Amino acid sequence: MTKKGLTMTQNNWHKIVDAAFQLFMEHGYQQTTTKEIARLADVNESTVFRTFASKEELFQTTIAHYTRRSLSNDFNNLQYSGDLRSDLKYLIDSMIEVNLQLIPSFRLLVKQAHMPVEVLSEIYRSLHDQQGAYVQFIVGLSHRYPIRNLMFDAFIDALFSTIFYHSFYYLIDQSSFKAMARNELSDYFVQYALEILTKEFNYEA
């Protein structure tokens, strides 16, 4: 394949996956047709099937792709601010953003429930890698602030699971959080994190 042909193939792949994600999110797996995906992607339906063996393979690829993209954040180049509240806000903003991107995919994933083990394993690895990035961030915090006996994994598990739970209800508009603006949600969890550090890990502001 020529370089031009390869570029066109890659471009079609992204257009199809982006269109599929939009339609799967709006209408669900069963109600979305490959003809609609092709129309939105501005390609022929035959191009969809040259690129993906089936609608199911396209769905699996789409969910895995958007999961990886949502979890692409890392903290390798972060400069800590010197203020614990600001640094926690940076971490929590990342967690909320990841959750608000992932939850629609996960809801669709649960409804479809036909994902092969290898795709689910890839999603799990992406989540695990993101968890590792969060832990490394907290390790950095523990070196900069008077936090004693901090169990990094336990702290991240408690924080992330709570944020995931409330982000889910925030997203589907079925809790008291629905009245909060996005920044208010972030501030709420910053305060929650500070309370954990104070009560469980002897942080003294």
10 Å CB burial of residue 39 (0-12, 13-18, 19+) is middle
Q: How many CB atoms lie within 10 A of CB 101?
A: 16
First to last CA, the chain: 62
Residue 47 token pair: 């191009």
| Residue 121: predicted pLDDT | 76
Residuewise pLDDT in 10s, the chain (205 residues): 444 444 667 889 999 999 999 998 888 888 999 999 999 999 999 999 999 999 989 998 888 888 877 776 666 667 788 898 999 998 888 888 877 777 777 767 666 656 677 777 777 777 777 778 888 888 888 888 877 777 777 888 788 777 777 766 665 554 455 556 667 778 888 888 888 888 877 777 6
Q: What is the phi/psi pair of residue 178, to 5°?
A: -65, -25
Which pTM does this prediction carry?
0.70
| Residue 3: predicted pLDDT | 45
34/56 Cα distance (integer angstroms):
10
Query: Residue ranges of the domains in the chain?
Result: 3-52, 68-201
Fold of 3-52: Arc Repressor Mutant, subunit A (1.10.10)
Q: What is the phi/psi pair of residue 185, to 5°?
A: -60, -45
Give the CA count within 13 Å in the CB-facing half-sphere of 98.
Answer: 24
| Residue 122: predicted pLDDT | 74
100/170 Cα distance (integer angstroms):
9
Distances (CA, A) of 99 to 15, 59, 105, 112: 24, 20, 10, 20
Q: Is 2 left (phi over 0), alpha (psi -120 to 50) or beta?
A: beta
